Every structure is written in structure tokens, then in C-alpha cells.
Amino acid sequence: MLTRIAPFAESLKLTDSAPDLSPRRRRLNFRAWHRGTKETDLMVGAFVARHIATFTEAELDELEQILELPDVDLADWLMQRRPIPAEVASPLLARMLVECNESGAGLPPHLR
């Protein structure tokens, strides 16, 4: 399934031609798509691409903390293989968890 989804991930990624986004938002979007494993790239990157333009400064701070978490742990939590530990839980991570477990998560809207 992942090989079928991966080509469509490119359509969700923002480009440098998004002049309305601040350098911080573009940097965070890039980091979200370059986690280390394709599964986590799709989950985190797609979530960030959908919401990066509307995140508050506090949410951007939370996102920076989330992106510092180990890739393997983040993937396990988002795929619900393990619960999110209280010491790293945040409202943004909870939102990410919900969206990553919706049907069609990681796909562009026209493919859901």
C-alpha cells in the first residue's frame, strides 16, 4: 500500500514558491517530510502540509518539539502500536494522532 501512496505524497508537499509562508513554516514543513522513514514522512508530512499555514505560534513551538522526537517512537504512537507517554503528550500530537488514523490519511484529498 505504501508504494501506491508514496507517489502522491509529492502533490501534498509545499514548494519554495509558497511566498505567503514564513521561513520558519517552510522549514518545519520540510522537516516534517524528511523524518527518516517513509511511513512517518507520510503521516507527519501530510498533517503538517494541511495545517502549516494556520498553525499559531504556540502550535509551531509544539510542532518543533514533536519533530525532535525519535522517528520510531513517533511512528509507533501515531499508528497506535503504543500509547503516547504523558511526558511528550500535547494537544497538537493528539490532533495528529486523530488525523493519522482517519481513513485515507496521507493521501491527497482527491484520492480519499
Q: Is the pLDDT of residue 6 over 70?
A: no
Residue 12: CB atoms within 10 A of its CB come to 19
Q: How many other CB atoms are found less than 10 A from the CB of residue 52?
A: 21
Q: How many other CB atoms are found less than 10 A from the CB of residue 20?
A: 6
Residue range 2-8+23-106, CATH number: 1.10.150.250
Cα–Cα distance measured from residue 43 to residue 56, given in angstroms and rounded to the nearest whole number: 20
pLDDT at 16 over 90: no
Q: Where are the domains of the chain?
A: 2-8+23-106
- pTM, whole model, 2 decimals? 0.79
pLDDT in tens, 22-60: 999 999 999 999 988 888 998 999 999 999 999 999 999
Task: Give the helix, strand, coil percentages of the chain, each rounded to 5.
Answer: 65, 0, 35
Residues 69-95 pLDDT 10s: 999 999 999 999 999 999 999 999 999
